[in-house]
Structure 1
Amino acid sequence: MTTADERQTRRGRPGYDKDSLLQIAVKVFNERGYDGTSMDELSKRLGISKSAIYHHVSGKDELLRLAVDRALDGLFAAADEAAAVEGRAVDRLEHLVRASVTVLVDRLPFVTLLLRVRGNTPVERRALARRREFDRMVADLVAQAVAEGDIRPDVDPAITSRLLFGMVNSLVEWYRPQGRRSAAELADTVCKIAFTGVRRPHPADAQTPAANADNTQP
């Protein structure tokens, strides 16, 4: 005889909406890989029936689409913010880097999943196309900053943008939300390294041209 508890489990436990279901699904995808996660596994992890999942979404593909769009929408919103910044292209680029770090911190599981997409499904290929569009926007900003004389011209802008955002994206490998560093502190550090460098200036480097000229006088 079926108990009330069994009937409740089959219908699905109360308390899950689409967003909370997505949060857990993304966690499982990151742990097991999207390809390695079945609907049965999601059902077990959630403690609800597959039919209860299908009440909210059509299946794994929709969960993946919602997840990667959460990350991509945040990045494109950051790009829109940067585009509205007045001034030189390098200032807009720095704004975009800072805002992207904030997106990564705020949406860490979603960005992590996005960076692991390999293009095996139509949803993944769509996500990769959007990533390439974002990359082109960054490369265009770098090219503008080069043209304005604020970024060195002897490195291809596409390579510069990939290296720059490679540093941003590397945060998913080691950043932990319970750490002591805030998003603003992380963004400051990334921008210092990216736009100033790691080498500490020596006192002699701080001499003014006039001082150097005086030192050459006979």
Structure 2
Amino acid sequence: MTAPEAAPTAKRGRPGYERDELLRICVRAFNEHGYEATSMGTLASTLGITKSAIYHHVSSKEEILEYALDHALDALEEVFEGAESLDVSAEERLEFAIRQTIFVLIEHFDNVTLLLRLRGNSEMEKRALDRRRQLTAQLGAFVEAAQREGSVRDTINPKNAARLVFGMINSLAEWYRPDGVTDVDALAEAIVKMAFDGLRS
């Protein structure tokens, strides 16, 4: 008579999230509750797993923030690097930067929204804000180049123009809903038109 087989031992698996999915949900929680107010316990509750399970993927809340900020800023900086490399008029370069910035905000909505809500409370946040200010300076340089070309009126300060254009784009973070039915191409076209109507008049 053979001994009965032992019941298979349950293998201890990894948490039920891939890292990218876990990070995406955590970033959304930061936007919903505020980064400072969101604890690892809150994230664990939102994910439906234990805090120790989160630590399988990240070492701290700050690592999640750094991930989100780097993804947002890398995508935005890529837009401006692409604009710089274009062999087109200054007006077309400016339009490209504005339009593609809109697409980046929508494609990386949660990450960019978190970037826009930073207060500079840590060295990491200050570095991110410095990179964001550099993007504004670059957009201002594009406006100034278009002014020299004569395609944009020269009665507005280029830096102020850049701040106003970014302000209009960044407002999407407050009212745009990624799960809505908005036609993204039509939205981008409307924002570009409003921006240039102001810059040319």
Structure-2-length-normalised TM-score = 0.88
Question: What CA deviation, in whole Å up to 9, does each residue of 1:18-55 have, x standing for no partner?
Answer: 21111111111001100001111111111222222122
Asked whether the equivalents of residues 142 and 160 of structure 1 are also in contact (C-alpha less than 8 Å), the reply is yes
Give the whole-Å Cα distance in 2 for the aligned partners of 1:14 and 1:153: 57
Q: Which amino acid aligns with 1:151?
A: V
Asked whether the equivalents of residues 91 and 151 of structure 2 are also in contact (C-alpha less than 8 Å), the reply is yes
Structure 2 counterparts to residues 116-127 of structure 1, below 5 A: 116-127=117-128
Cα 1:129–1:58 change in 2 (3 A) is same
Quote how far apart the aligned CAs of 1:155 are.
1.1
Q: Which amino acid aligns with 1:155?
A: I
Please, which runs of 5 or more residues in structure 2 have no aligned partner? 1-9
Q: Which amino acid aligns with 1:137?
A: Q
**SS across alignment from 1:196:** helix
Q: Which amino acid aligns with 2:196?
A: F
Quote how far apart the aligned CAs of 1:183 are.
2.1
Quote how far apart the aligned CAs of 1:165 are.
1.0
What's the counterpart of residue 40 of structure 1? 41
Give the whole-Å Cα distance in 1 for the aligned partners of 2:104 and 2:192: 15
Question: Share of identical aligned residues, percent?
Answer: 48
Structure-1-length-normalised TM-score = 0.81
Please, which runs of 5 or more residues in structure 1 have no aligned partner? 1-6, 198-218
Question: What CA deviation, in whole Å up to 9, does each residue of 1:38-80 have, x standing for no partner?
Answer: 1111111112222221221110111000011111111111112
What's the counterpart of residue 115 of structure 2? 114
What's the counterpart of residue 5 of structure 2? none
Cα 1:126–1:144 change in 2 (3 A) is same
Give the whole-Å Cα distance in 2 for the aligned partners of 1:17 and 1:123: 25
Give the whole-Å Cα distance in 1 for the aligned partners of 2:22 and 2:128: 21
Asked whether the equivalents of residues 15 and 49 of structure 2 are also in contact (C-alpha less than 8 Å), the reply is no
Asked whether the equivalents of residues 69 and 111 of structure 2 are also in contact (C-alpha less than 8 Å), the reply is yes
Quote how far apart the aligned CAs of 1:13 are.
6.3
What's the counterpart of residue 200 of structure 1? none
User: After TM superposition, where is structure 1 displaced by more than 4 Å over at least 4 residues in a row?
Assistant: none
Give the whole-Å Cα distance in 1 for the aligned partners of 2:13 and 2:144: 53
RMSD: 1.8
Q: Which has the larger radius of gyration?
A: 1
